Amino acid sequence: MHKIIQRLEQRQILLKNAIKAAEKDEKKFPEGKLRISRSDNQIRYYKVTDYKKLSEEYISMKNINIAKSLAQKAYNKHFLKKARKELDNIEKFTKRFKGNNSESIFTNLSSDRQNLVTPYIIPDYLYVKEWQSQSFRSNPYMPENIKYDTRRGEKVRSKSEAILADMLYDLGIPYHYEKPLVIDCGIVRYPDFTLLKVKTREEIYMEHFGLLENKEYRRGCLNKLDEYRKNGIYPGKNLILTYETSDNPLDIKGIKEMFKDILMGISYC
């Protein structure tokens, strides 16, 4: 249901922007309506100013913009009527759902009662708590390189990874560092970060490529991406990539906005 609500909220934004544009155009249209006549495979356009008196004037091709404007005017009128109704229905539904979803039965209980009850649908905050408390053996490769502190009290392999971890922590995005991922044939890989998209409860993997100027490192990154793709993990679906070189330092502001958009549903568009 969260996915449905998310899509409806995206539709709300689309409708609001479209309605705003249509309302702006509404003030620009000329008087009258358009009549189109087709005979002998020829189309003729007429500007109708009074249907009762059949008052109209022919629109020549050199004045085709008048026909376009009148056609847009009719479309605009019907679009606004339909779009406003659709937007109203969506807003009513989302408001009603958010106030009456089944999870609220549990979350509205006192803490004493919550301690005695097993919810049939786990609320987001409990799901996050359970997901975050998972225990696992992280990447055993060169543990001596894991030496950079994060605000969450763990250690990572690079300063950039520490910056990324702190960014996730500050945004309240649940994550695991170097959590094992089993792919085809039982092969175990360790994505830099495994993130939780709370509203949809999807796991999103993130890799940071910090040494792209190194040819061997770059080849390894491409091989990793090929391997991920063969296992259904790729950008645009469930993989986030960050990167840096000496000429292109870590884009902290841009990455923060990306995290908000992808993982929290907060768009800057």
Amino acid at 119: P
> Looking at domain 134-264, which CATH architecture does it have?
3-Layer(aba) Sandwich (3.40)
Section 28-50 average pLDDT? 92
What is the rounded CA–CA span in Å between residue 5 and residue 9? 6
Q: How large a percentage of the chain has pLDDT more than 90? A: 84
- pLDDT score at 14: 96
- pLDDT score at 268: 45
pLDDT in tens, 71-107: 999 999 999 999 999 999 999 998 887 767 788 899 9
What is the rounded CA–CA span in Å between residue 159 and residue 154? 13
What lies within 8 Å, CB to CB, of 12 at 6+ separation is 87, 90, 91, 94
Least confident residue range of 44-53, 80-89, 117-126, 181-190: 44-53
Q: How large a percentage of the chain has pLDDT more than 70? A: 97
Chain mean pLDDT for the chain: 93
pLDDT in tens, 166-225: 999 999 999 999 999 999 889 999 999 999 999 889 999 999 999 999 999 999 999 999
Helices and strands (DSSP H and E) totals, the chain: 8, 11
Q: For 235, which DSSP code?
A: B
